[in-house]
Amino acid sequence: MTKGHCTVSFHLMNKSRYSSRREFLQSTAAGMAAGTVFPIWSHAQGTYGQGIVIDCHAHIYSPDERSYPPIQNPNRPPSGKGTIDHLREEMRAAGVQSVTAVQTSSFYRWDNRFTVDSSRANSSFMAGICTLDPDDPASPELLEKYVADFNVRGMRSIPAASGNLNDPGVAKLWEAAERAGIVINVLVNRDKRSEIEDLAIRFPKLRVVIDHCLNLRAGPDLGATLRDVIALAAHPNFHAKLTFIPTGSAENYPCRDMHDPCHAVIGAFGPDRCVWGSDFPCELWCPKITYRQHLEIFKSELGLDAVAKRKILGETARRLWFDRG
């Protein structure tokens, strides 16, 4: 397997109330002009419309393991799950129009070929998010090729072999991403908060998405992790990926123990800097709920108003990954 053609995956994986739910909803609505409608671009349809849903976090797996061989002892989804056909079925059933495919590092490590081939072949509804080895000096050039030729619109960033996120190899990839005009997705735990902020100072124009919000999870560390996530909202180019409700919950659907933390994150970042993702295939990454239920949490269970839903479920994602200018 060629070095530089694969990706990483660390699904590393008192409640803190920022305000009452009513206060959050009122403040969100007050920030918008009354009656204003913001159309969003549908990459799938090539038209403008309202209420379009974009899934910002799907991991995809090829059934052709000769062409796209997995790593040794991969984290494998159940049989028949995680394929592009399966993803399309879930999207159609849930009313989702577009998706970002995030490199499946726990299956392919640094070999991004299936992700980038799929994002190019399915560009009518998919954008690719690659993950590259920060210790490989060829990675920045490979990133540029993926962006130019394979419909890659983002890169997932993880620490270098040194254990540091603010490693020179990571910084070179962030620099390449800034030049290319794509988004950085950061996958780290709360111990890397200061390192994320160090990089943010060095690359103030780079749009950054915090994958899984530092892996927020119910338990004794929830309050501390939530405070760190909220602190990152002070950086205007940072965005929150709200994928942590089922993965961090100690409960079954609708995972109510993670609703207040989610509202706190939305309150800190604002809906225009938050995105939803499915954690597809849910059968592997969040088996306590289905794809449709994960979306339903945001459509109804959280009690979000129409403006917040429109932004979190589609508008913000369109701007980050699908709007080419």
Tens-digit pLDDT profile for residues 157-185: 999 999 999 999 999 999 999 999 999 99
Q: What is the DSSP letter of 46?
A: T
C-alpha pair distances (Å), 67 with each of 30, 59, 201, 290: 52, 18, 41, 29
pLDDT tens digits, residue range 243-291? 999 999 999 999 999 999 999 999 999 999 999 999 999 999 999 999 9
- Going by pLDDT thresholds of 50, 70 and 90, the confidence category of residue 51 is confident
Residue 235 lies inside a defined structural domain of this protein: yes
Q: Who's near 61: CB < 8 A, 6+ residues apart?
A: 76, 77, 81, 82, 83, 104, 107, 114, 281
Residue 15 lies inside a defined structural domain of this protein: no
Q: What is the model's pLDDT at position 13?
A: 28
Averaged pLDDT for residues 87-95: 98
Domain encompassing residue 179: 44-322
Query: Which structure tokens are listed for 130?
Result: 């690659």
Q: Which residue in 161, 162, 166 sits closest to 186, CA to CA?
A: 166
Among 3-12, 71-80, 152-161, 179-188, the minimum mean pLDDT is found in 3-12
C-alpha pair distances (Å), 203 with each of 41, 137, 197, 242: 27, 20, 10, 23
**Number of compact structural domains in the chain:** 1
Long-range pairs of 43-47 with CB within 8 A, sequence gap ≥ 24: 43/97, 43/98, 43/124, 43/125, 43/127, 43/318, 43/322, 44/97, 44/98, 44/124, 44/125, 45/97
Residue 110 lies inside a defined structural domain of this protein: yes
Element (H, E) at 239: strand 238-241
Residue 7 lies inside a defined structural domain of this protein: no
pLDDT at 306 over 80: yes
- pTM summary value: 0.84
Q: What is the model's pLDDT at position 52?
A: 92
Residue 140 lies inside a defined structural domain of this protein: yes
Q: What is the model's pLDDT at position 25?
A: 30
Residue 30 lies inside a defined structural domain of this protein: no
Residue 309 lies inside a defined structural domain of this protein: yes
Residue 145 lies inside a defined structural domain of this protein: yes
Query: Which structure tokens are listed for 287?
Result: 């088996």
Averaged pLDDT for residues 85-106: 98
pLDDT tens digits, residue range 198-215? 999 999 999 999 999 999
Q: What is the model's pLDDT at position 268?
A: 98
Q: What is the model's pLDDT at position 23?
A: 37
Question: In angstroms, what is the C-alpha Rg of the chain?
Answer: 18
CATH number at residue 101: 3.20.20.140
